[in-house]
């Protein structure tokens, strides 16, 4: 009998087959986060991103419009460009120096007359186009040159994501990080959207927000979540915020949506964060975080830090204080909610292999977990039936 984990078989979290299917049908057929708009700031600049099975690069043309192409030389398939960089007018494959212009046209084949005495039709050997667009200050790529538009894909959930204008905020580079979690990507997503755990796993790390008053739901496969500040935080909110506001008053609260697939945002009154979940293997997932803050002077940040000090000095604490901690590096005694989450995900993944694993009933606050499983199933089914 298939062991189930609510709607999905336990295998969906462990097997290579499921992983391959998701890579092919979900991550290679949807809009994928590729970076922040400022990562490609000027004509000639480019970045590349692995989006499921596709490696796609984005380059800005002289008209300031972005182009996306599959990062595959049309000759022998070599990846054309690496990571990030700038070019003036052309992209040259390192292998045989085939060269493409920024429109993807093949413009030069070295020793053409000698190597291809019967001629070569360069016009049929342009780079394969993909799609790119910018939404909420983020770059998204899609492997299809004519995909459903981003406005259509995110349109219904867009109004529920908070009043932030990420394009007007500035990145806080120290907060940029990338780490691996030894758990399936869906475990990481489900932890992110589990409302029940907020008051428990994070009892001493996220209690400036009132989880009991959280409002959440779904627009298609996209999850939206908002919760207000807790009473003592809200009482003198403008004083208590650790850094200057990113959104005008009277907006308050935390918006923590999870867009499909694995695109988490977390935005409060004073910051805007992204949480990008990328499957690496059935039991291994990468998380990338980036943070943007108000475009204010260092002095403004300093002032706000002083003003809010009295709130934060006694705030927070350890999940397991005193004797319960196993040692200095016990995540349950870190006082850091990210360390708490990673720990919970990895401990959960470990148990899936046990023949005795049997999932317990889902709580109300876990309804998003169950719904996400459904969203995965529905997306897979739609891709498989071609609808």
Binding other proteins by CB under 8 A: which of 12, 26, 132, 263? 132
Residue of 226, 225, 201 whose CA lies nearest to 339:
201
Residues 167-186 that bind other proteins (CB under 8 A): 167
Among the listed ranges 60-68, 176-184, 248-256, 324-332, the one in contact with other proteins (CB under 8 A) is 60-68
Q: Which residues lie closer than 8 Å to 258 by C-beta, 6 or more apart? A: 189, 192, 193, 222, 223, 225, 264, 265, 368, 372
For position 64 contacting other proteins by CB under 8 A, the verdict is yes
Pair of tokens at residue 79: 């990846």
State yes or no: residue 156 binds other proteins (CB under 8 A).
no
150 binds other proteins (CB under 8 A): yes
Closer to other proteins by Cβ: residue 57 or 216: 57
Site membership for other proteins, residue 36 (CB under 8 A): no
Question: Could you tell me which residues come within 8 angstroms of residue 104 by beta carbon, excluding any fewer than 6 positions away?
Answer: 67, 69, 126, 127, 128, 129
Q: Between 38 and 112, name the residue whose CB sits nearer to other proteins.
A: 38
Q: In this complex, which beta carbon is closest to other proteins, that of residue 59 or of residue 277? A: 59
Bridge partners (DSSP) listed for residue 129: 69
Structural contact between residues 221 and 30, judged by C-beta atoms closer than 8 angstroms: no
Minimum distance, C-beta of residue 151 to other proteins, in the bound complex (Å): 4
Residues 233, 235, 236, 238: is their CA dihedral positive or negative? positive
Decide if 42 contacts 309 (C-beta within 8 A): no
**316: contact with other proteins by CB under 8 A:** no
Q: Does 62 bind other proteins (CB under 8 A)?
A: yes
Q: Is 337 helix (H, G, I), strand (E, B) or coil?
A: helix
* Dihedral (CA of 140, 292, 249, 296) sign: negative
Question: 133, 190, 227, 270: which one contacts other proteins (CB under 8 A)?
Answer: 133
Candidates 121, 152, 299, 355; binder of other proteins (CB under 8 A) is 152
Structure-token match 């070569």, residue found: 120
Nearer to other proteins, 40 or 254 (CB): 40
Q: Interface with other proteins by CB under 8 A: which range of 5-13, 71-79, 125-133, 204-212?
A: 125-133
Chain residues binding other proteins by CB under 8 A are 37, 61-66, 101-103, 131-135, 149-152, 155, 167
């Amino acid at each position: 009998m298939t062991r189930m984990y609510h709607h999905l078989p336990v295998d969906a979290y462990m097997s290579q087959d499921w992983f391959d299917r998701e890579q092919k049908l979900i991550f290679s057929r949807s809009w994928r986060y590729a970076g922040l708009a400022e990562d490609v700031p000027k004509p000639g600049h480019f970045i590349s991103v692995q989006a499921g099975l596709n490696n796609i690069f984005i380059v800005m043309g002289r008209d300031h419009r972005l182009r996306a192409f599959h990062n595959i030389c049309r000759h022998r398939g070599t990846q054309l460009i690496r990571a990030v960089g700038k070019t003036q007018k052309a992209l040259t494959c390192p292998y045989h120096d085939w060269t493409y212009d920024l429109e993807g046209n093949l413009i030069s084949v070295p020793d053409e007359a000698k190597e291809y005495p019967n001629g070569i039709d360069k016009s049929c050997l342009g780079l394969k186009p993909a799609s790119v667009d910018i939404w909420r200050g983020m770059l998204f790529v899609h492997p299809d040159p004519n995909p459903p538009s981003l406005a259509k894909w995110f349109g219904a959930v867009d109004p529920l994501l908070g009043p932030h204008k990420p394009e007007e905020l500035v990145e806080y580079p120290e907060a940029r990080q990338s780490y691996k979690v030894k758990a399936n990507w869906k475990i990481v997503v489900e932890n992110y959207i589990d409302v029940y755990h907020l008051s428990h796993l994070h009892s001493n790390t996220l209690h400036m927000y009132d989880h009991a008053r959280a409002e959440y739901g779904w627009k298609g496969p996209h999850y939206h979540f908002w919760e207000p500040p807790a009473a003592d935080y809200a009482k003198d909110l403008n004083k208590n915020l650790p850094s200057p506001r990113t959104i005008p008053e009277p907006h308050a609260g935390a918006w923590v949506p999870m867009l499909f697939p694995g695109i988490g945002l977390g935005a409060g009154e004073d910051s805007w964060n992204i949480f990008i979940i990328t499957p690496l293997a059935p039991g291994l997932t990468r998380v990338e975080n980036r943070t943007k803050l108000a475009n204010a002077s260092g002095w403004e940040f300093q002032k706000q830090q002083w003003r809010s000090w009295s709130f934060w000095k006694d705030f927070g604490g350890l999940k397991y204080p005193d004797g319960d901690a196993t040692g200095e590096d016990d995540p349950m005694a870190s006082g850091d909610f990210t360390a708490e989450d990673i720990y919970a995900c990895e401990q959960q993944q470990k148990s899936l292999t046990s023949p005795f694993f049997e999932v317990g009933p889902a709580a109300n606050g876990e309804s998003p977990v169950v719904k996400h499983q459904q969203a995965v199933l529905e997306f897979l089914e739609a891709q498989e039936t071609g609808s």
